[in-house]
């Protein structure tokens, strides 16, 4: 029954508890997948990751994902799907202030910014915003957009940090630096998924 401010996908937050859920091959907007309790499995771009408590995973606009929850105890999700118009406006605003910019601008006409698909630790600032949203019984649209803006700014800072790492890698070709960063992300995601294991350098290299 809500009147949407613009065409396209709106901001949607799915905060619920369930033991079983399966959403197969869903085309979504820029999204954050996280769980306040329990864990889920997400597949995107032929990669399958386990999202444990205190971590979140990022997928991009128009990217297909499969979300699977199958646990003996209820899993509390807090998945944020950013609206298309909202995302474009926030990223444009942040890039104009210089936040998240390196040599290249994110304001490429007609092209949305692509974030790296990656598991991130849910740091204190993101944790605070998520619980503020969760515990607000009837937030106004302006208040909610301010909180989502904070999350988007945090995402942009994390992406900028990755791009700085990529730019600093000792390789001549840009494509080589991108490939090295991709492999570093794969191995850090693996570490996040297996924090309880005694991982060897050989396992990580493999």
For 121-133, the pLDDT digits (tens) are 999 999 999 999 9
Lowest mean pLDDT among 97-111, 131-145, 154-168: 97-111
Question: pTM (2 decimals)?
Answer: 0.86
User: Is pLDDT of 162 > 70?
Assistant: yes
pLDDT tens per residue across span 47-61: 999 999 999 999 999
For residue 105, the model assigns a pLDDT of 43
Q: What is the mean pLDDT of the chain?
A: 88
Half-sphere exposure of 22 (CA within 13 A, CB side): 3
- Residue 107's pLDDT is 43
pLDDT for 66 equals 98
Residue 202 in tokens: 């050989």
pLDDT at 29: 93
Question: Of the spans 6-15, 48-57, 79-88, 105-114, which averages the highest pLDDT?
Answer: 48-57
Rounded to an integer, the average pLDDT of 170-188 is: 91
Give Cα separations from 147 to 4, 43, 54, 173 (angstroms).
Answer: 18, 27, 19, 39
pLDDT (0 to 100) of residue 97? 56
pLDDT value at 182 more than 60:
yes
Q: Which of 57, 33, 67, 47 is nearest to 183 (CA)?
A: 47
Residue 54 tokens read as: 């205190």
pLDDT confidence of residue 84: 86
């Amino acid at each position: 029954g809500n009147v949407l401010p613009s065409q396209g996908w709106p901001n949607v937050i799915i905060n619920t508890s369930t033991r079983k859920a399966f959403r197969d091959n869903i085309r979504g907007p820029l999204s954050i997948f996280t769980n306040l309790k329990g864990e889920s499995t997400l597949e995107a771009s032929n990669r399958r990751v386990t999202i444990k408590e205190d971590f979140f995973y990022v997928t991009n606009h128009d990217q297909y994902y499969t979300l699977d929850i199958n646990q003996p105890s209820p899993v509390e999700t807090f998945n944020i799907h950013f609206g298309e118009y909202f995302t474009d406006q926030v990223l444009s605003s942040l890039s104009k202030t210089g936040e998240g910019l390196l040599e290249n601008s994110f304001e490429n006409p007609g092209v949305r910014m692509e974030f790296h698909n990656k598991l991130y630790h849910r740091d204190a600032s993101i944790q605070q915003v998520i619980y503020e949203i969760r515990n607000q019984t009837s937030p106004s649209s302006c208040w909610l957009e301010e909180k989502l803006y904070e999350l988007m700014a945090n995402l942009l800072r994390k992406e900028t940090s990755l791009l700085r790492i990529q730019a600093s890698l000792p390789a001549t070709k840009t494509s080589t630096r991108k490939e090295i960063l991709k492999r570093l992300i794969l191995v850090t995601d693996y570490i996040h998924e297996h924090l309880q294991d005694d991982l060897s350098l050989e396992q990580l290299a493999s």
